[in-house]
Each structure stands twice: as C-alpha cells, then as structure tokens.
Structure 1
Amino acid sequence: MPPPTPPNVILIMTDQQRADSLGCTGNPVVQTPQIDALAARGAVFRNHFTPHQICSPSRSTLFSGLFARHHGLTRNGVALPEELPLITHDLKAAGYRTHGAGKFHFQPILAGAEHEMPDSNAFWDLPQSDGWTGPFYGFDTVDILIGESVSATEGGHYANWLRETAPEAAALYLPENALEQPPEDMDEVWKSAIPAELHYNSWITDRACHFLQDQNGDAPFFLFVSYPDPHHPFSPPAPWCDMYDPAEVPAPAQVPDELAAMPSYILDNDREEAASSYVDFLRNPGPPREQGFMQTTQRFSDASLRQAIAHTYGMVSMIDDGIGRILAQLDAQGLTGDTLILFTSDHGELLGDHGLIRKGPSPYLPLLHVPLIMAGPGVTPGERNGITSHLDLRATLQDHLALPTQHTDGTSFQPMLAEPESPGRDTFYAEYHPRTRMDTYNQTLLSADWRFTLYPENPDWGEMFHLASDPGEHVNLYFHPDYTKQKQQFTEQLTREFPPAPEAGGPSLATY
C-alpha cells in the first residue's frame, strides 16, 4: 500500500491578541463560538508565549524557530533575510503546496521602491507588481495585505482589489467618515463605515476559502491565514462595532501608583505619545518613534477605554466568524479529518492593564502571553499547562509531520500533542530590541513562578514579579531588599544562558 498522505496544515494568526480574549480561555464576555469549537476538539495551550512582543520579530521567530538575534529581524523596519530557511521551506521540501493570505510583515511596510519588497507599499507602484503572486519566503503563492485599519488600503493585493471592486470605499476606513462621532479623548476608537463585506478581514477569509476550493486531497497543503486585527486602532465595522456593551466588558487590571516602581521610561515616553496621534502617524509618518506606541490611560475617560475594549472584542468576534467560514469550507472539501489546524497570535495588547495601552519595551505578560490552539490528526483534546513558545513551533511541526529536522533555537513540544500531561519548558527567554531609545533594550527570563527582566544598558532599571503570588504583575520586587539573593541568581542565569545582544539584527530600512 502507498504511504498515507501527510496531513494538511492551516496556521491561523491574528495580530495583537491577548491570550485571555477567547471564550475557551476564560473570557466571560467575548463570543468566539467557532474558535471555542475548534478548542473543544483540540489542545488548548494555557501557557504559550512569544519571545518578542513586537510584530515582525515575533512572526519571524515563529516561522524560523530562531530568536530575533539569530534570524536578524530584531525590530520593525528590518527585513527578514530571504535566504533564511523557514517552516514553509521545510514543508515545500516535503511536497506541500504553500499559500498565505493576509498580513505577513516580514519586510518593512515603508521600505523604499529600490528594495523591491512585496511586503512594502512602494513595491505596488512598480511594474513588476503587476500580476505578482509569489514566490515569497517559501510560499508558492500569496494574497498580501499590508498594514491595518486606515493604512491597509495603500499597497498589496487587498488594496488593489478594493480599488477595483469599490473605488471610493478606501475613504470609509477613515475616522472622519465613522458611523458615529469618535470620542474626543481617544482618537483611535471609532466605528468604521467600511461595509463588512469589503473589510480586509472578510477579504482574507474569502481568499483562504478560494484556496481551499482548489484542493482535492491529491497533495498536502500549508495555508497561512493572517488577520491584521485586533491590532489598534480600535475601529471595527458594523455590526461588529456594536456587538458589545462597553459597560459590560471587564475592567482593566491595575493598582494605584504601580508604575512608580517600574523603569522610568514608561512614564517619560508617555509625554511623547500623549502629544501625538497614532492615526496621524499611520497616515503621514514623521520621525521614528519607539515601537509599540505604549501610552498610559490617564488621559482617557473610563467610557472611552471601555469602548476600545468593546471594539477589540468586536474585532475578535469578526475574525471568529471568518474562521467559521474557513472551517466550513474545509469540511465541504472533505478535508477536516486530514488537516492539522493551529490558531495563535503574534503578540498581545495591554488594553488598559497597569494603566497602559498598546505595547512597548516592557514585557508584561499581556504582551508575551498569546493563545495557541492545535486540533487535528495526532492531537488529543484537552488543556496543556506546560510552558510553550513560538520559538518551539517549527521544531514541533517538524516532529509531528515527520519532516527532516532542521536546526532551530526551539524545543519540540510534540509529546504534548498526544499526551496532555507531558511537561513543557521550565523557563524561556524573551528579548526586546528598541528602535529609538537604546537603553530600553531588555531581556527576560520567565518560569511558572517568576518573570525577571534586565536592562543591560541601564542598571537603574529592572523588573521582577513573583507570579505565584502576584500573577497580575503589579508589585515590582527588583529593588526589594528581601529579594536580593533571588535577583542575583536570576541575573547570573540570564547573563550566562542568554547573554545580552543589544546590537544584533540587520539594518533598519524604514521606520516600520
């Protein structure tokens, strides 16, 4: 008998989604019936983390299995080397058809036309963009979406499609055309006037379904479906913008004056962010600003912040609806039983916790802790409580799919797929490479009980949280005299096993 065909693989990724923003991970308000159904027949990893809380480094780590210091894309604005082996190359070598639809962010969005990078807006003004669909980083073909919200209509396949389908529709993304007047104190919150059927999330779903319609089971496929939401701005279309009552969303978790014990740049940078607009930056980028655009919530009303949370949940539910369509299409093709499905996000969002929004240098767990669900052949349903990382996914897929083993920095957690009680990692490391303020470079050691962060360029800063007694990370013990010995042990371990590398990475080609 011929050997069985390897399972298909669908990797669904969102952008800036917290681990606790799904029904199946305990959120009491957000409705995610499609993802919850996937979770019910699969493995839910309750302690899955990314080593990099910024978009491009995290995505590149997931695909390469390497820390950013080794794959080179250490900060947004740097390009991932095109010759670097990724999981897509592993799969292609094993006979898989590879396709991606949505946001990739392997190259800078603002890279100049001279670089000829399809992940940049400038490429789409070049003659060679006409009819281009790949290859791209191990993908045979791609349907590219660049950016999010107001910036998603400038370049890429989606922008071209929207111009051809509804030439006037791009302006409907803008806040000045919102369905209601946005709040005066928070310019990133509005109800987008773009019809849901023209929205990029719907287009990505359509392109994924179109790819699946062409699959007949003769050869295995890898499909990457990458949604740009629930990344800020918080601007979903109807009906998703009205799905949740802001008064009913959980309040952010914060303690009065907790930031006073944190590194001083958090409050220092707040003045810069408060004096500028992220939406204006998207529409007309000026001088480089620090990645993540982290800002305190002290200038926002409770109503505006709750509206941002409600809109985030609306974006999550819109994506959930799209995932339902993809799973239904897979079922219609008779391929569900032969397909391994992964759902995750590149990194999280502060969303008001600690009195902060967006993301930034400080590696709070709402930024590092992301969802991971895996369902399909060889996966026993149930929760997994061991620590796993994006760093480990390539090695895990190599094991699970019997692909040739390629070098990674990660550790396969393939035994956990079949056996829910199999242990995960004891510890893992995370790293942040800044764009503008180099002393915010930091390294983190995370275990089940501790989160410890060093700033090698600034000894006056540090973060240390005893997660066993302070799971919300509200009491920074770094300078507490009772924990001097513990701090010294962590410092030695981190410096020995993950030495500082603040200068690592390729050249910056653009602001982002």
Structure 2
Amino acid sequence: MDVRPDIVMVMTDQHAARVMGCTGDAHAQTPALDALAAAGTRFTNAYCNSPLCVPSRMSFLTGLEPHVSGVLNNDAYLPSDIPTIAHALGAAGYDCHLVGRMHFYGPDQLHGFAHRPIGDIGASYPGGNPPEIGPLTKGRGNRGPELAHSGAGETSYQAYDHAVTDQAIETIEALKAQRAHTGRPFFVLASLFCPHPPYICAREDYDAFDGTLPPPRLPPPNEDHPAIADWRAAGRTAEISDENQRISRTAYYGLVRMIDGMCGRVFDLVKDRENTLSIYASDHGESLGERGLWWKSVMYDQSAKVPMILRGVGFEAGHQDGRVTSLADLSATILEQANASLPGHIGHSLTQDPVAGGRCISSYYGGLMNIRLPDIRHRMLRQGRFKLIWYDGHDAQLFDLRSDPDELCNLAEDVRYASTLADLSTQLLDGWSVKQIADAQAIKSAQFSVIRNWVRKTRPEESYRWFDHTPERNRYT
C-alpha cells in the first residue's frame, strides 16, 4: 500500500503575506486561511525567488533560479526540456493535475502535469490579446493613473477564479475516490488569478471594508534609493490620489476576502483526511501603497514576502516558523513528501531543522505589463537577520530586519557592518555574472520582439486558455 500523502495546494497571485488575520491584520477577513494556519504551520519569513509572476512560478516549479532556467521576465517561455516538480511527481507515480493559472507561455501548457482542465485566463503567448473586460479595461494596468478605475464591480477575473475553484473541487472529489479504489496518490495544484489587479472586487466584498481601512503605514521616503525612484517614476505612483489609494486598498482587501472563501471550499474537502498535505502560498506579494509603492517587483518585504502555510503530518498545528525560506524550499518539500527527486533543485525541504542555509536569494530583471524600464538586474539575499539588496549600476542596501523590520535604515555604508556586507555580497554574487545576464537579456529582448510580432500576425491556437462566455458581466456595481 502506498502511504505517501495526497497533496492539495492553492496558489494565488499577488497576495501580500501580511494581509491575513493570522498575521495580526485586524482588518483582513480570512477565516479559512486563519483556520489552515491554526491547524498547520505558517512560515513567517517565506520569500519568492523573484518578485514577478512568471519567473517566480517557474522557479517554484523547477527549483532553478531565473538566470539558470532562462525565465527572466513575464515574456519568457520555460523550455520543455527543463523538468518540473510535476514531471518528478508523475515519474514517482503521482497523478498530477493543474487547475487554473500558471502563466505558461508557448505551446507547452502542461510542463509535466498530466491533466489541466482549466488553463490560464491570460494569453498563451507574449503579445496575445488580454482578457476582454470591456468598460473595466482602464483599471487593468500597472501605472498610477489606472488606480482611478478601481472599485466595486464584477469582472471576468472573478468569474475565472470561481470556475477554477469549482473545477478544483470536482477534480479533488474524483481523485479521492480514485485513491480509495487504486491507492494511487495525487497532486492537485489549484491556482487563482486574484487578488492580482485590477483592484475591482464584488460589491459585497467591497462593502465589507469600505471606510474601515487605515492608510498605508509607511509613507514615501524623503530620499529614495535611485533604483526605487526610477521604478516609482515609471509607475507614476506620485499621480495616485488619496481617494484612489483608499478605493484600491479597499478593493484589494475585498479580493483577498473572496479568495479566502475559495480556499476554504477547497481545503474543507481534505481537512479530515489524515494522509493529505494541504498547502497555501502566493507567487509574490503586493506593496499596496506602503512607501508610496504599488504592485510587486521590488525587494522590500511587502513585495518579496509570500504567505506560506502547510497542514499535514510533520507540520505542527498552530506553529509559526520564523526560519528564512522560499518557494523553492516549498517545492523541495513537495518532492520530499512524494519521495521524488529533481536534479539541480536549489531548495531544501521545510521538514529539515534548520532549513539548510536558512536563506533565500531572489532576483528581478524587469518587465511588468505597461511599465517600461531598461533591463534591470536586482538581486537580494535574506540570511538570518540581514537582507542585502544589490543593484546593477546603483549602491547596495543592507538592512538588519531584527532591529529594523520596516527596512528604513540602510547599513551598507556603515563601517560597523563592512564585514557583513562583504560576506553577504560574496554569497549573493557567487556564480552570477552581470555581463552574461545582460547579454542574455539583450538577446532575449530581440527574440521576444519576433515572437510578439508572430503572435499578432498569426494568432496561434490557445487550446488550453479559459475564455469568459459572458463578457457582458464586466461592469462596475
């Protein structure tokens, strides 16, 4: 008899780790995730391996850093000859199902998953048409003026997440019956779009927070780091009014409330099964106005930290684990639980005490929807109490998160921390060639231009893509 656990995971997009009741946010309404944390272990220092959707997700799936897989930004394809945890689990005998979003680009929309009943809501190729959301389109982008179009409404993105949740429930129920009959273990990854922008949530969810949320806790700094100032200018965040900020934050909390209900529906299916590992995580965080920043793509904790909760054998109920971990460590844990292997994987199982190295490296190379900047090479190391952020072309930042959890005091030029800076810099830059990556970015950029033009001219088939057959639903309420 196969005693390995079934694995049920829900991944969301752009959920800030701090916006949950179980983290101490008195305003968040997340009873399902709070219950999961009470029955399992919540990792309080979990990070993404890149604060951007596609590189983060591909690092989670492959256990490779973006510069190793070649997936540097949101236009990139994951090569089909790079195995994922789905390949590894399938080879180990698991029945692997992906339901919903994973941001795969190109003809391979499975990458090792045997079944994918619902694909992405977004385009299957760079340059493809985004979802049709009619009068709400102006609120979809990632620049300050778009926040003027946040609020209460109904969108295809919400409908998509409801469809993914319904399908995930149907899939899990069928697989539970299959496990009882055949003994074959399963892995289901249900992946939602929200609370990713647009910041538009259902009226009921909006009203649950309207007029109750405080403004961001951290104001914009008087003096900004040059790399962050460039990002802020490109995103036109100075154009966000207090009212648009208030409405956008309200809608974001409403979207989190919505996805929490969906998580509850999924995890309730397996909460009484002893041999099931339940996992919740997101691909990156959300600044949500803190420091005057929005969206993701920076290395401050608001953007780079992710929620990570595991419930199952080996994960203590109600425990908060403060070790530094990453999404790569999460996928290493999935591999360990399945008794599967994936050569080259950089992660370390969360069941190890401590996680080997106790650190996370995250990288960002640019590329976020309609924000256009030159190619970027940012790299971050979080190890123990310290975080080092390295910028190509700009001075580094060094923070002591024990004494400065808000990352306000840059210690990089403090002589008392010179040896710490030198040691962390050596670790962070080891095996990471700025010139090689810059050359690769230039080549990739030219190649993506050809692909985008090809997509616009030929409109390749998108057989896995989910389309909303009721586009008239998109409206403000």
Helix, strand or coil for the counterpart of 1:359? coil
Measured after TM superposition, the shift of residue 242 of structure 1 is: 1.9
Please give the secondary structure, in 2, of the residue aligned with 1:44: strand
Offset of residue 438 of structure 1: 4.7
1:145 equivalent to 2:81? Answer no
Q: What is the deviation of 1:17?
A: 1.0
Write the letter of the residue equivalent to 1:17.
H
Corresponding pairs, count: 428
Is structure 2 residue 428 aligned with structure 1 residue 428? Answer: no
Q: 2:331 corresponds to which residue?
A: 394
> 1:273 aligns to what?
235
Match of 2:160 in 1: 200
Q: Deviations over 1:61-106 (max 9, x none)?
A: 1111111111221111010011211111111112211111111102
In the alignment, the residues of structure 1 paired with residue 411 and residue 336 of structure 2 have an alpha-carbon distance, to the nearest angstrom, of 40
Residue equivalent to 1:124: none
Question: What amino acid does structure 2 have at the position aligned with 1:88?
Answer: A
Quickly say closer, same or farther: Cα 1:270–1:92, change in 2 above 3 A: same
Shift of 1:394: 2.7
State whether structure 2 residue 38 is matched by structure 1 residue 35: no
Give, in angstroms, the shift of residue 239 of structure 1.
Answer: 1.6
Q: Give the aligned partner of residue 425 of structure 2.
A: 491
2:391 matched to which residue of 1? 455
* SS in structure 1 of the partner of residue 243 of structure 2: helix
1:206 maps to a residue whose letter is D
Task: Give distance in 2, aligned partners of 1:52 and 1:441.
Answer: 11
Question: How big is each residue's C-alpha offset from its partner over 1:195-236, in whole Å with a ceiling of 9 and x where there is no partner?
Answer: 99x711211111101112322123211111111111121011
Tell me the residue number matched to 1:6: 4
1:338, CA displacement in angstroms?
2.5
State the superposition RMSD in angstroms: 3.0
Distance 2:107 2:420 in 1: 50
User: 2:209 is paired with a residue of what secondary structure?
Assistant: coil
Given the alignment, which residue of 204, 210, 215 partners 1:251?
A: 215
* Correspondence for 1:262: 225
* Shift, 1:440, TM fit: 3.0
Would the alpha carbon gap of residues 185 and 371 (structure 1) be closer, same or farther in structure 2, given more than 3 Å must change? closer
Structure 1 residues 146 and 340, CA, compared in 2 at 3 Å: closer, same or farther?
same
Partner of 2:322: 385
Q: Establish whether residue 415 from structure 1 lines up as the match of residue 378 from structure 2.
A: no
Q: 1:404 to 1:479 in 2, by over 3 A?
A: closer
1:472 aligned residue (406, 416, 420): 406
Larger mean Cα displacement after TM superposition, 436-445 or 209-218: 436-445
How many Å apart are 1:9 and its aligned residue? 0.7
Q: Is 1:351 the equivalent of 2:288?
A: yes
| Whole-angstrom CA distance in 2 between matches of 1:14 and 1:454 | 28
Structure 2: stretches of 5+ with no match in the other structure: 456-477
Structure 2 contact 221–291 (Cα < 8 Å) conserved = no
Alignment partner, residue 221 of structure 1: 186
C-alpha distance 172-89 of structure 1, shift in aligned 2 (>3 A): same
Pair 328,399 (structure 1): closer, same or farther in 2 beyond 3 Å: closer
Match of 1:123 in 2: none
- Take 1:493 and 1:213, find their aligned partners in 2: how far apart are those partners? 46
**Residues 1:300 and 2:240 are matched in the alignment:** yes
Q: Structure 1 residues 116 and 195, CA, compared in 2 at 3 Å: closer, same or farther?
A: closer
Equivalent in the alignment of 1:406: 343
Identity of aligned residues (%): 28
What's the CA shift for 1:38? 1.2
Which residue in 1 is equivalent to 2:304? Answer: 368
2:52 is matched by which residue type in structure 1?
Answer: I
**TM, length-normalised to structure 1:** 0.76
Q: Do the aligned partners of 2:41 and 2:309 also contact (CA within 8 Å) in 1?
A: yes
Aligned to 2:250: 310
Instruction: Report the CA distance shift for 1:440/1:483 in structure 2 as closer, same or farther (over 3 A).
Output: farther
Deviation, 1:40, is 1.1
Q: From the superposition, tell whether residues 256 and 44 of structure 1 become closer, same or farther in structure 2 (CA, over 3 Å).
A: closer
Q: Deviations over 1:380-425 (max 9, x none)?
A: 2211111111122232222222224633122222235xxxxx4564
Q: TM-score, normalised by structure 2?
A: 0.81
Contact 1:387 1:424 in 2 (8 A): no
Residues 330 and 490 of structure 1, relative CA distance in 2, 3 Å threshold: closer
User: Alpha carbons of 1:195 and 1:474: their partners in 2 closer, same or farther (altered >3 Å)?
Assistant: same
Please point out which of 88, 92, 102 is paired with 1:104: 102
Distance, in Å, in 2 between the alignment partners of 1:235 and 1:226 is 19
- Please give the alpha-carbon distance, in whole angstroms, between the structure 2 residues aligned to 1:302 and 1:502: 39
Which residue, out of 269, 273, 291, partners 1:336?
273
Where 1:191 maps in the other structure, the secondary structure is strand
Residue aligned with 1:507, SS: helix
Change (3 A) 1:494 1:174: closer
The alignment partner of 1:443 has SS state of strand
SS of the residue 1:91 aligns to: helix
Distance in 2 (alpha carbons) for counterparts of 1:255 and 1:270: 13
Distance 1:371 1:270, change over 3 A: closer
**Contact 1:467–1:473 (CA<8 Å) still a contact in 2?**
yes
Deviations 1:326-361 (A, max 9, x none): 233446xxx73222111000001111111111123x
- Equivalent position SS for 2:320: strand
1:369 Cα shift? Answer: 0.8
TM-superposed deviation, 1:174: 4.8
- After TM superposition, the structure 1 = structure 2 runs for residues 109-188 of structure 1, keeping only pairs within 5 Å, are 116=107, 118=109, 136-142=110-116, 143-147=118-122, 171=134, 174=137, 186-188=147-149
CA distance in 2, matches of 1:91, 1:268: 42
In 1, distance between residues paired with 2:423 and 2:173?
Answer: 55
From the superposition, tell whether residues 74 and 414 of structure 1 become closer, same or farther in structure 2 (CA, over 3 Å).
same
Alpha-carbon distance, 1:44 to partner = 0.8
User: Displacement of 1:175 after TM fit?
Assistant: 6.2
Mean Cα deviation higher: 377-386 or 480-489: 480-489
Per-residue deviation, 1:485: 4.7
Structure 2 SS opposite 1:392: helix
Q: 1:213 to 1:439 in 2, by over 3 A?
A: closer
